[in-house]
Amino acid sequence: METTIRRYDLDWLRVIVFALLIFYHVGMFFVPWGWHIKNNVIYDWLKWPMLFLNQWRLPILFVISGMGTYYALSKRNLGQFSWERIRRLGVPLIFGMIFIVPPQVYIERLAKHQFSGSYLDYFTSVAFKGVYPEGNISWHHLWFLPYLLVFSVLLGPLFVYLRNNPNGFSDWIKRIVVKPFGIYWFVVPLYLLEAFMEPFFDITHGLIDDWFNFSFSLVLFFYGFLLISTGDIFWKVVEELKFKALLIGVFTFLSQVFIWVFLEDGYVVHFTEALLKVGNIWSWILVLFGFAAKYLNHKSNALSYANRAVYPFYILHQTVTVVLAYFLMDLSWGLFPKASLLVLGTFGFSWLIYHFLILKIPLLQPFFGLKKKRPK
């Protein structure tokens, strides 16, 4: 396999995008869209930066995860890889559904006057009755984990085949990528899904009834594996293309805004908007990879710490946000004080739990997806 040297820019991107997730979930407290708990004042204008962030923040994580799968399979056979995925994804998911997510549902039930009583009363009575939203069992923000687990199981045999037979298909991908704007051919399958499947399936994060989101994310995960398998070719392409992709990203997003504000839906609008959307998603993914390759491919102690902390932070953060938001929701403060307190509080409490509990108690670490730290 060509790519065996660690890419620190991938680690940085993973940390940065997961950090943005905290800002995004804090924003969900203030925008008009449905969420688990809402502020007493809603800020309609905030939906525009949220819409911009929303289109590419999860797609790039699926691409990065596909790239990480390439590295994982370089050191393991299919059986070892599958077991490692179960331990790293399945165990934290089950743990999170039992101990991390229930406080969020409890707070939502309190805020909506659907339950009264202590958390202990809730946990020992109705916490595990019925499936959310009618019931209370849910994986909430942890939905990313079962999707990755299923993707890994489904595509694992194909990935092993491609790893063991690097010529042919891999060479064809390389020939496409090196052509001027050739990497934009990857938009075509995404466009077909967006144009012909998205109208029929709401995004539910429920795995078994989430066909558009499942298919779209699976393709992006597959792309990650394919692109990283081209070795240095991909990184040279995105580094050279980054400013052009930036212009395309700005144009496609502003064009979408124009459609949302001024045009009514119809066949022409739908198929045009679908092309603009996938072009926008793919462009910002390329922009982030390109600038990261140029400026972030270096090792540091801060990265080593943050890269290990990012998974526990992801598992913990939304519960911290929702609990803090419950005590702020009815206060007469403005957006800035509340949002600042939520961001700082979410980072702060997540760090305290991570640094002083998870790192200090090795027994907890597998439940937050941490591998044993290798001795230096």
270-328 per-position pLDDT tens digit:
999 999 999 999 999 999 999 999 999 999 999 999 999 999 999 999 999 999 999 99
Return the pLDDT at 166: 79
Locus of tokens 């946000």: 321
Return the pLDDT at 2: 46
* Residue 88 CB-density burial (10 A; 0-12 exposed, 13-18 middle, 19+ buried): buried
Return the pLDDT at 156: 96
**What pTM was estimated for this model as a whole?**
0.95
Q: What CA–CA distance (Å, rounded) separates 202 from 71? A: 33
List, in order, residues 6 or more apart from 326 with CB less than 8 Å away: 37, 107, 110, 111
DSSP string, 172-188: HHHHHHHSTTGGGGGHH
Residue ranges of the chain whose pLDDT lies below 70: 1-4, 374-376
31-47 per-position pLDDT tens digit:
999 999 999 999 999 99
Return the pLDDT at 6: 82
